[in-house]
Amino acid sequence: MGPTRKSNVCRRLSRRALGFFARDAGVVQRTNLGILRELVCQESTKFKNVWTTHSKSPIAYERGRIYFDNYRCCVSSVASEPKKLYEMPKCSKSEKIEDALLWECPVGEVLPDPSDYKSSLIALTAHNWLLRISATTGKILEKIYLASYCKFRYLSWDTPQEVIAVKSAQNKSSAVARQAGIQQPILLYLAVFQVLPFSLIGILEINKRIFGNVTDASLSHGILIVMYSSGLVRLYSFQAITEQAKNGIQEMECCSLESDWIYFHPDASGRIIHVGPNQIKVLKLNEIENNSSQHQISEDFVILANRENKNENLVTVTASGRVVKKSFNLLDDDPEQETFKIVDYEDELDLLSVVAVTQIDAEGKAHLDFHCNEYGTLLKSIPLVESWDVTYSHEVYFDRDLVLHIEQKPNRVFSCYVYQMVCDPAEEEEILNKSY
């Protein structure tokens, strides 16, 4: 008989979590995730590119599922080869899905319908319908019409798995209005909905007359985040931040073409992640000493890009022999220097995943770094095999033992690269034995 094939480590850990090896599945699950984190971060572990696919329509990823053809076709990414889960009927352009979020039922709540206990896809269509679709069959379970006076385009979680924010496309003044000196006061709309069943909480206008010359806005954990072209970010929480909120305005000290971005940490710690081209600041809200009614924002830790200092004085000599020194400063998002492009959080392994890119000549190289979520310490770095063109749109996801890179090239060509974890069998066995 030939050698016995070793089963996938994630599958073995999942079997143990279901109670095959212990009575208390909760304790085993936490142990499993600790083992998996150690396996992921050990030096000998590699991430191998197992398959690549291309498409003429957008590709999206949500929790082990890859979506093609505007979410119409769903493929499982857990297996070593893609496996189709379902395919929805073809639809018109106005009915296509533009954005979606995966919703999973809350624990310990009695829900009105048996189908509510299974995962759903909250989807936004091109003609402003909000749908709840079964994540396993593609069947539409619930739908609601949003509005006719604007075009809604983006979905995000306000409160994860409970409240969603639906953001409209930004309003742009017409050429006739600009010539007449008329400015569009409303930049965009934010509609806020409770999930299951869909119920409208409210629609918020981001009005330039109220907020000033804003460039974008988003909603997270009940706090409105408003961004400005000057690099300023304002946080509004009605009273808690604007009235009680030392350092409520954060400024990233950088000189770059692309703007920085800020959002609340997905780990529900109340911390804030502020990302610039060459640094990532993790901020926290804490009470001011001797004044519990007021809060301030302070740095928890900072992650810096690995760079050489190329800011230097250039020396030139004139025809008369006079020495002239010129100060030469590079932009912070100079493509020849390592630049942060994507920051995400793997909740089960409690790791921050950071994509850093360096463009050398015409070819860019990217690597995915895993950082400790508590202290920011670098634990592991994974090189991506494919080249990275900074002029293209990119998304990178890290999910347990899987890394997935989605790239949009010119002429609407979308590529998906899937990496899976590969361990040294001897070291894997050693870590598993050490856990008991």
Q: How many other C-beta atoms lie within 10 A of the C-beta of residue 398?
A: 24
Q: Which residues pair with 284 in a beta bridge?
A: 298
Question: Is 186 part of any domain?
Answer: yes
Question: Is 395 part of any domain?
Answer: no
The pair of structure tokens assigned to 83 is 């496996």
Q: Which residues pair with 224 in a beta bridge?
A: 219, 236
Number of structural domains the chain divides into: 1
Question: Is 132 part of any domain?
Answer: yes
Question: Is 99 part of any domain?
Answer: yes
The pair of structure tokens assigned to 66 is 């890859």
Contacts of 279 (CB under 8 A, 6+ apart): 252, 254, 302, 303, 304, 305, 340
Question: Is 126 part of any domain?
Answer: yes
Q: What is the pLDDT along the chain (436 residues), one digit of tens a residue?
A: 455 555 566 666 666 656 555 555 567 777 788 888 998 998 889 999 988 999 998 899 988 899 999 999 999 887 667 788 999 999 888 899 999 999 987 666 777 777 777 889 999 999 999 999 998 889 998 899 988 888 999 999 888 888 899 999 988 755 444 555 555 688 899 888 888 778 888 788 888 888 888 888 888 877 888 888 777 888 776 344 334 464 444 555 555 556 677 888 888 788 889 888 889 999 987 777 777 667 778 889 999 998 876 555 556 666 676 766 655 455 555 667 888 999 999 999 999 999 999 987 778 899 999 999 999 999 999 999 999 988 899 999 999 899 999 999 988 899 999 999 987 666 666 655 655 5
Question: Is 52 part of any domain?
Answer: no
Question: Is 127 part of any domain?
Answer: yes
- Output the CA–CA distances (angstroms, integers) from residue 136 to 50, 112, 116, 337, in the order listed: 24, 19, 12, 43
Contacts of 392 (CB under 8 A, 6+ apart): 407, 408, 409, 410
The pair of structure tokens assigned to 197 is 């069943």
DSSP 300-336: EEEEE-------EEEEEE-TT--EEEEEE---TT-TT
**Phi and psi at residue 286, to the nearest 5°:** -140, 160
Q: What is the pTM of this model?
A: 0.74
- Output the CA–CA distances (angstroms, integers) from residue 151 to 154, 167, 178, 363, in the order listed: 10, 9, 21, 37
**Given the DSSP bridges, would you call strands 245-246 and 291-304 parallel, antiparallel or unpaired?**
parallel
Question: Is 389 part of any domain?
Answer: no
Contacts of 220 (CB under 8 A, 6+ apart): 156, 157, 158, 165, 263, 264
Q: How far apart are the C-alpha atoms of 169 and 188, rounded to whole Å? A: 6
Q: Which domain holds residue 204?
A: 91-106+113-220
